[in-house]
Amino acid sequence: MVVSIQGRVMEGISGRVPAESLWQSLLDRGRRAVFDRPAVRVDPIDVDDVQGFILRGYRMPMVRHLLLTVGVPEAARALLGRLVGGDEADVPQITTAKDWHVGFEPGPFDDPAGTPRVKPDYCLNLGITWPGLIALDVADHVPDLSFGSFAAFVAGAAERAHLVGDTGAGSPGNWVGGFGTGADHVLVTLHALGPGAMETYTDRLAELFTEGGAYRILSRHDGQALMEMRDGVAVPTSKVHFGYTDGISQTTIRGGPENYSADRQQPCEPWLFVLREEAENYSVPTPLQLGLNGSFAAFKIVETDIVGFECFLQANKDTIDPEFLAAKICGRWRNGVPLALSPDTDSPSGGIPSGDLNDFDYVNADGSGDQKGLRCPVGAHIRRINPRGQPVAGQGHPGGSNNSHRLVRRGMPYGPAYDPSQPYDGIERGLLGYFINASIENQYEFVLSQWVNGSEFAGAVRLDPDARDPMIGTQASNDSVFNIPRSRGAADIKATGLTTFVTTKAAAYCFLPSVTAVKFIAGLPQAPR
């Protein structure tokens, strides 16, 4: 039965079935998935088979994404097999979600009393686009290949760019590095502890890719944590361009290896991020050796218009303090303090322990809280992208769960920290990385089309029809207005001159195969069927 529903969903997204009833059915099914489903036995997550960054944040300061196009399919498949062959001396190995064992400096979320772990100096991961699976001759060799529930992945990011606001300057025709051309087949992601390791493994991989004409490198894209000087030493921060502190709220996955600080949200079902048979809104791709324990992700490079953003803050300073406006735009003050916990200052008396910076909700089960968005605007970035317990279209329960649309973010800034004394230094800055989910339609695309670039989602709270996410939305015009509601009947603050501050430079929809799946692809017969 699920499969037939899926069929209808695919039709919907290509316009034959009205979007509203399509999103309504997706929302209703998502809600039922969380509340009404009978308790099913959930097998533990096979962390040895799942790619690491699906379930773990590596906390490494550098990343390099290498976009490859397939040359000789047999050689290309064979090389993938070596990346999971277990022989580090041969080639760098794909990093799984398995725990690192001894001697590792405990991180912010680690139990200092726990077993210290060794952190490798690199992590390696792999994404394959649908054209990539075709170029690897997987479809040729696998008669029962089916990605029936994943039309977005099959269609690809370029085809569906208009659904997520990647239009105008951000449209696929302007994308860089070969993304969206159909030659964008395999994305290899290398995280490294330092520049030395980054160059060593890049050189090893680049040499490897060309062996036997397996692959050609189309482009490479680097990200790096923004550094700041502490006691004369440059140290990585979790700052992003626009000046905010990022990486505070993480997505807790039931049975996952990472435990994050309190966030008053139910843990997410593992099938929302790892392809598993108990899933409620998709059928695992077949054959199962290929589909199980995999995942999907939208890879994205977005350029940030920092000058435009700072000018917008300053242009409204007679109406609202620039730092307060920056906080209202994001939902957090730039130092990470959430408006939900501290609506009037970024340094509340007594402070907020770092472990509590995510311990809030917008609307509680008894309907109390910040229904109208007087503390954190309903239209602010983090509240749009994860409304938590706020009732939204299709999920009308105060304090209810919107987990069926959650995302795992694995992104990093690119470009050096912005220097306000050199606003026009001509250096491109932005964010690049993966938004990971099991269903690109129901998670990534839904969030960007309905919540980031929509205004109807907020249930009882009516937003201006043209309202979009003030930080990452594709604004309706170059003079949009960001409405900030105020209490005690005071008129809304209207911040004018809002423009689109982020532009997509590249995107790709990737399948993140499990170790078993990579071995399956590598094991396909050399000679065509």
Q: Would you give the DSSP letter of residue 167?
A: -
Specify the residue, 292 or 340, whose C-beta has the smaller distance to ligand HEM. Answer: 340
What minimum distance in Å lies between the beta carbon of 246 and ligand HEM?
4
Instruction: Fill in the DSSP letter of residue 63.
Output: E
For residue 472, the minimal CB distance to ligand HEM (Å) is 5
Give least dist CB 189 to ligand HEM, A.
17
Q: Which is nearer to ligand HEM, 304 or 516 (CB)?
A: 304
Continuous segment of H or E residues that includes residue 301 = strand 295-304
Q: Which residues contact 273 (CB under 8 A, 6 or more apart)?
A: 54, 55, 251, 253, 295, 408, 436, 437, 438
CB of 431 to ligand HEM, least distance (A): 4
Shortest Å distance, C-beta 505 to ligand HEM = 11
For the CB of residue 66, give the shortest distance to ligand HEM in the complex, in Å: 22
The radius of gyration computed from the CA coordinates of the chain, to the nearest angstrom, equals 23
Q: Which is nearer to ligand HEM, 246 or 269 (CB)?
A: 246
Give 413's contacts (C-beta < 8 A, 6+ positions apart): 223, 224, 225, 226, 239, 240, 241, 429, 430, 431
> Whose Cβ is closer to ligand HEM: residue 110's or residue 359's?
359
- Establish whether the linkage from the previous residue to 513 is cis, with ω within 30° of 0: no
Q: Give every CB contact of residue 41 below 8 A, 6+ residues apart in sequence.
A: none
Phi, psi of 439 (to 5 degrees): -120, 110
Residue with tokens 């991961």: 125
Torsion of CA 441, 447, 451, 454, to 10 degrees: -40
Nearer Cβ to ligand HEM (402/516): 402
CA 123 – CA 112 distance, rounded (Å): 23
Sites of contact with ligand HEM (CB under 6 A)? 240, 242, 244, 246-249, 302, 304, 330, 332, 381-382, 385-386, 407, 409, 431, 435, 447-448, 471-472, 502
Cβ proximity to ligand HEM: between 79 and 498 the closer is: 498
**Tell me, what DSSP letter sits at residue 304?**
E
CB 212 within 8 A of CB 75: yes
Residue 364 CB, shortest distance to ligand HEM, in Å, is 16
Q: How far is the CB of 512 from ligand HEM (least distance, A)?
A: 17
By beta-carbon proximity to ligand HEM, the closer residue of 137 and 361 is: 361
DSSP string, 434-468: EEEES-TIIIIIHIIIIIIS-SS-STTSPPPTT--
Contact 499, 475 (CB under 8 A): yes
Angstrom distance (rounded) from CA 220 to CA 225: 17
Q: Compare residues 215 and 451 and give the one whose CB is closer to ligand HEM.
A: 451
State how far the Cα of 436 lies from the Cα of 418, in Å rounded to an integer: 28
Residue type for position 448: L
| CB nearer ligand HEM, residue 394 or residue 411 | 411
Least CB distance to ligand HEM at residue 450 (A):
12
Beta carbon of residue 245, minimum distance to ligand HEM (angstroms, whole number): 6
Q: Which is nearer to ligand HEM, 184 or 305 (CB)?
A: 305
Residue 80 near residue 517 (C-beta atoms within 8 A): no
Query: Minimum distance between the CB of residue 359 and ligand HEM, rounded to whole angstroms?
Result: 11
DSSP 8-state class, residue 165: T
DSSP assigned state of 108: T
Task: Indicate the residue among 138 and 326 with the shorter CB distance to ligand HEM.
Answer: 326
Altogether, the residues listed in the chain come to a count of 529
Residue 195: φ, ψ to 5°: -60, -35
